[in-house]
């Protein structure tokens, strides 16, 4: 006879999928933002940077390294403020933000 607890782990990952995130770190001394993402789907990536007014600042096309993406971009010529980062592949879009100060 099956016990109800026997089914607790079945489909657990499907019920509570891990949220993918765009990991952003701004280094003030280098005036550079570091971008990382894991478990990506897709081979081509487009990285876009926007200011808080929604104006695009930079756009970079790159490949992914398997399911991993890593990049760094200088923000030395940009004013202090909040910036939005969008990483898109053929199959998904991740967004995040950081503050340059």
Cα–Cα distance, 56 to 86 (Å, whole number): 10
pLDDT in tens, 20-38: 889 999 999 999 999 999 9
pLDDT in tens, 29-88: 999 999 999 999 989 999 999 999 999 999 999 988 888 999 999 999 999 999 999 999
Tell me, what's the pLDDT at 20? 80
Domain 18-100 has CATH 2.60.40.3080: yes
Is the confidence at residue 4, as pLDDT, over 70?
no
Tell me, what's the pLDDT at 60? 96
What residue has token string 């782990």?
Answer: 9
- pTM for the model stands at 0.79
């Amino acid at each position: 006879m099956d016990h109800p607890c026997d089914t607790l782990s079945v489909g657990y990952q499907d019920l509570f999928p891990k949220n993918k995130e765009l990991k952003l770190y701004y280094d003030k001394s280098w005036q550079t933002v570091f971008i990382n993402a894991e478990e990506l789907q897709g081979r081509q990536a487009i990285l876009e940077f926007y200011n808080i007014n929604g104006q695009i600042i930079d756009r970079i096309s790159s490949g992914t390294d398997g399911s991993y993406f890593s990049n760094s971009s200088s923000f030395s010529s940009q004013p202090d403020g909040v910036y939005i980062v969008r990483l898109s592949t053929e199959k998904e879009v991740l967004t995040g933000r950081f503050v340059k100060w």
